[in-house]
């Protein structure tokens, strides 16, 4: 069974593909073209399921496993923002850079140079007659000054627990080891293998 990835985010595609064999995971856009999916759930899990179900239904295939990732960064001292709104924190269609700047502004407004923060990833797996959601988290802090070019999204202002550098500055191998997405995918992998063997 082919694994289809229900995401349009290039950073996610890159990270998820790096955890599987080459060409094992195909982004949906290669099969269906570009598509906007409305994410109107109230949790990461709900939004992940919305994305995976939408692509599974559009594909209309009984030999495909669709996986999606809904993720974001949560800063408890900033009212839990941006959370599930991470991709549109600075408004609909905002760039990663604008969203990051908004979070920096919110920290500065509160006179905080840094604040505890965590990333969440919910990975949904949708296959014929089966649906699963697994989660992973990465804890650390958000800082008020972006550093480094690596990763994507909020990575230049996220310092993982046990490090002084941001994910933007650290070797990508470290993110691969520590990230919310990697942890959720480690849980997803045996489920995917089980579904493929049925």
Concerning whether 70 is annotated as a catalytic residue, the answer is yes
Give the one residue of 8, 17, 29, 101 binding ligand ITT; rule: CB under 6 A.
8
Name residues contacting ligand ITT, limited to 171-190 (CB under 6 A).
Answer: 179, 181
Q: What is the H or E stretch that residue 46 is in?
A: helix 44-59
Half-sphere exposure of 169 (CA within 13 A, CB side): 11
One character per residue 15-54, x = contact with ligand ITT (rule: CB under 6 A) = ------------------------x-----------x---
SS3 82: strand
SS3 67: strand
> Binding of ligand ITT at residue 9 (CB under 6 A)?
yes
Beta bridge partners of 73: 119
The token duo for 191 is 């489920």
Q: Check if the beta carbon of residue 64 is closer than 8 Å to that of residue 2.
A: yes
Which residues are part of a known binding site for substrate? 7-12, 71, 152-155, 175, 180-181
**What residues line the site for ligand ITT (CB under 6 A)?**
7-9, 12, 39, 51, 69-73, 86-87, 96, 99, 119, 151-155, 179, 181
Give the residue ranges of the annotated binding site for Mg(2+): 38, 70
């Amino acid at each position: 069974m082919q694994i289809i990835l229900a995401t349009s985010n290039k950073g996610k595609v890159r990270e998820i593909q790096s955890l599987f064999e080459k060409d094992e995971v195909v982004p949906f856009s290669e099969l269906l073209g570009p598509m906007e999916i409305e994410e109107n759930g109230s949790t990461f899990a709900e939004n992940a399921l919305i994305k995976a179900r939408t692509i599974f239904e559009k594909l209309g295939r009984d030999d495909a496993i669709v996986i999606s990732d809904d993720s974001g960064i949560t800063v408890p001292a900033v009212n839990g923002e941006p959370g599930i709104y991470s991709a549109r924190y600075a408004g609909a269609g905002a760039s990663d850079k604008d969203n990051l700047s908004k979070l920096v502004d919110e920290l500065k407004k509160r006179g905080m140079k840094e604040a505890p923060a965590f990333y969440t990833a919910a990975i949904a797996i949708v296959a014929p007659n089966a649906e699963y959601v697994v989660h992973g988290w990465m804890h650390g802090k958000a800082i008020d000054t972006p550093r480094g070019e690596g990763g994507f999204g909020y990575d230049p202002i996220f310092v993982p627990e046990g490090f002084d550098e941001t994910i933007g500055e650290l070797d990508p191998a470290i993110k691969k080891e520590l990230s919310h997405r990697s942890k959720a995918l480690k849980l997803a992998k045996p489920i995917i293998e089980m579904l493929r063997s049925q």
